[in-house]
Structure 1
Amino acid sequence: MKIRSFVFAATVALAMPAYAAKIPAALDPDKDGTVDLAEAKAAAGALFDKLDKDHEGTLDIKELQGRLSRADFAGADPDKDKTLTKDEFLAVVEQRFNAANPDADGTLDAKELNGPEGKALKKLLK
Structure 2
Amino acid sequence: MLIATAPAWSQSLLKRLDPDKDGTVDLAEAKSAASNLFDKLDRDHDGTLDKRELRGRVNAKDFAAADPDNDGTLDKNEFLALVEKRFNAANPDNDGTIDAKELKSAPGRSLARLLN
TM-score (norm 2): 0.88
Deviations 1:74-107 (A, max 9, x none): 1100000000000000000000000011110000
Percent of paired sites with the same residue:
66
CA deviations on 1:103-123 (whole Å, 9 max, x unpaired) are 100001100011111000000
Amino acid at match of 1:75: A
Distance 1:31 1:69 in 2: 31
The higher radius of gyration belongs to 1
Distance 1:85 1:56, change over 3 A: same
Q: Give runs of aligned pairs for residues 104-115 of structure 1, distance below 5 A.
A: 104-115=94-105
Letter in 2 for 1:125: L
- In the other structure, the counterpart of 2:37 is 47
Q: CA RMSD in A?
A: 1.4
From the superposition, tell whether residues 23 and 36 of structure 1 become closer, same or farther in structure 2 (CA, over 3 Å).
farther
Preserved CA contact (<8 Å) 1:76 1:84: yes
Q: How far did residue 23 of structure 1 move? A: 4.7
Q: Which runs of 5+ in 2 are unaligned?
A: 1-6
1:101 equivalenced with 2:91 (yes/no): yes
Q: Which residue of 1 aligns with 2:3?
A: none
Answer yes or no: is 1:89 the counterpart of 2:79. Answer: yes
What is the number of equivalent residue pairs in this alignment? 108
Q: What runs of 5+ residues in structure 1 fail to find an aligned partner?
A: 1-18
> Aligned letter for 1:77?
D
Amino acid at match of 2:11: K
The reply to whether residue 26 of structure 1 matches residue 16 of structure 2 is yes
Runs of 4+ aligned residues of structure 1 deviating over 6 Å after TM superposition are: none
Q: Taking structure 1 as the reference length, what is the TM-score of the superposition?
A: 0.81
